[in-house]
Amino acid sequence: MTEDTALSAPPGRPVRLIPAPPGFWMTLLGVATAAIAPLFGFLIGSMMGAPTGETVLSPMYWGLFIGIVIGGVGVLAAVAGGYRLWRHLHGKAGGSSS
């Protein structure tokens, strides 16, 4: 088979893919988890419905509590990822002073 020159892409600037710096994805996923987990906890708690008997805490409170705990883990992941990202970005610019 011959290659049709009309269908081939014209030569141009080559695409250079640069990987994300360390900590970027951890920060992004931590922020998303911290923002969405309490909402999903509230949603799941409200889907469980009202308690049938005498209970101390309703399922809505339990769902929200679990969502807040998972959101707290997301905040910790975001802070750890942000620290790695900050250390990576400032480590290259700062150099060594000694």
pLDDT at residue 25 is higher than 80: yes
Contacts of 57 (CB under 8 A, 6+ apart): none
Percent of the chain with pLDDT over 70: 83
Confidence of residue 57 (pLDDT cuts 50, 70, 90): confident
Contact call for residues 46 and 63 (beta carbons, < 8 A):
yes
Contact call for residues 27 and 85 (beta carbons, < 8 A):
yes
Query: What pTM value is reported for the model?
Result: 0.72
Question: What was the pLDDT predicted at 97?
Answer: 47
Contact call for residues 22 and 52 (beta carbons, < 8 A):
no
- How far is Cα 82 from Cα 21, in angstroms, rounded to an integer? 11
Contacts of 54 (CB under 8 A, 6+ apart): none
Confidence of residue 27 (pLDDT cuts 50, 70, 90): very high
pLDDT tens track for 4-13: 556 666 678 8
pLDDT at residue 31 is higher than 80: yes
